[in-house]
Homo-oligomer: A and B are copies of this chain.
Amino acid sequence: MTNEAAPHAEAASQAEASLQAESPQAESLQAEVGPDVGSAAANGQAAALERLFGRYHFPPGPRRILLAAATAFAERGFHATTTRDIAAQAGLSPAALYVYFRSKEEVLHQIVASTLAFTVEVVATEANGPGSPADRLTGLVRVLTLWTTYNSQVGHVVLYQTSALSPEHLTDITAKQRKVSQLVRQVIVDGIGTRDFDIDDPGAAAIAILSLCLDVPRWYHPGHRLTPQKLGDFNAAAALRIAGATQ
């Protein structure tokens, strides 16, 4: 309340601005979805997050806090995580969090917003790519499945912790989530138009196909017998079947 225009939340605010304004070079979006070859699966989650927060130019201090918070929020949930937990995991004092962020809730918002901003980029690239609607749907489902599989931890946060956001932040996040749904829906509508797909209700089909991809963080854990690649291929094939793709 007394912290309305706190001078010390600048790093986060700058990053927030850059989140909206700047679009980093999209040369290798697909490569960035997953971990580097050879990196351990478990560590891959943290490494992917490090890269994500790096993309949006968070300085080292905020980045350590965001990384620690994302892991804790995923494992225990927002309300079960204390600011002391986050600070300890980041190797900082409890007060450090408030040097970079206005509140614990803002930490959550930064995590969710940057994750979703990247997701929208990745999905849009595939949805608006060249090729037939079937090709675009395949690419989209594969890349989204890879993303949720490799990043199942932060996926948990984006999907199941957003109710802890303030109303304003929730509006922002809901808009980004709707954007992803819209992109999927458009590919299906296009496919119906070209008679590549045969399905009555494109809205319901979009929801079902998104469910395949977005339900992953609920049950997947690193080391599952289905590798991210296998799961991406399976979901892509299942999506084509749901859409009634004509062979």
Contact = CB atoms under 8 A, between A and B. Distances in A.
B159 A218 contact: yes
Contact of A79 (B79, B204, B207, B215): B79
Nearest to A216: B211
15 contacts: A77-B77, A77-B163, A78-B79, A79-B80, A160-B160, A204-B226, A204-B230, A204-B231, A204-B234, A205-B238, A208-B235, A211-B215, A214-B218, A215-B215, A238-B242
Contacts of A207: 219
Nearest to A242: B238
Contacts of A231: 204
Interface in A188-246: 201, 203-205, 207-208, 210-212, 214-215, 218-219, 225-226, 230-231, 234-235, 238, 241-242, 244
A164 interface: yes
Contacts of A238: 205, 208, 242
Contacts of A210: 215
B79 A234 contact: no
Contacts of A203: 225-226
Contacts of A244: 241
A77 B235 CA distance: 30
Contacts of A241: 241-242, 244
Nearest to A209: B238
Nearest to A218: B159
Nearest to A215: B211
Contacts of A214: 215, 218
Contacts of A235: 208
Nearest to A225: B203
Contact of A77 (B79, B201, B205): B79
A89 to B, nearest CB: 18
Contacts of A219: 207
Contacts of A80: 79, 164
A167 to B, nearest CB: 14
Nearest to A226: B204
A77 B230 CA distance: 33
Contacts of A77: 77-79, 163-164
Nearest to A244: B241
